[in-house]
Amino acid sequence: MASLYKKVINGKAYWYLRQMAWVQGKPKLASQRYLGTAAEIEALLDAREQVMVPARSRHLGFGDVAAVWGLLQRLDVAGVIDAVVGSRRG
């Protein structure tokens, strides 16, 4: 299981990602990865968010007509109009 681990060296906090494993019935450090200081981690996350957010987007109407048609059928709008106006003459 992975967990964050903080080491304080000369009064500064440094963060590591640790993986622990059970070896012969005892927990043992399997791997450790240096993440950096809190400021370095924050800068990396901010840079990642800027890359992931698109500069602009385009939204297309897809299925709008089908949604309205389904709503009109569920509300029986044609039946209400026929009841008020009368049936079609042919």
d(CA 59, CA 56): 10
pLDDT of residue 60: 82
- 90 pLDDT band, cuts 50/70/90, is low
Selected from 1.10.3470, 2.60.120, 2.30.31, 2.40.50, the CATH number assigned to the domain covering 2-53+62-85 reads 2.30.31
Question: What torsion do the CA atoms of 41, 42, 45, 51 make, to the nearest 10 degrees?
Answer: -120
pLDDT of residue 59: 82
d(CA 8, CA 27): 22
Q: What is the per-residue pLDDT across 14-64, written as a single tens digit (0 to 9) for each?
A: 999 999 999 999 999 999 999 999 999 999 999 998 888 777 888 888 888
Q: What is the pTM of this model?
A: 0.52
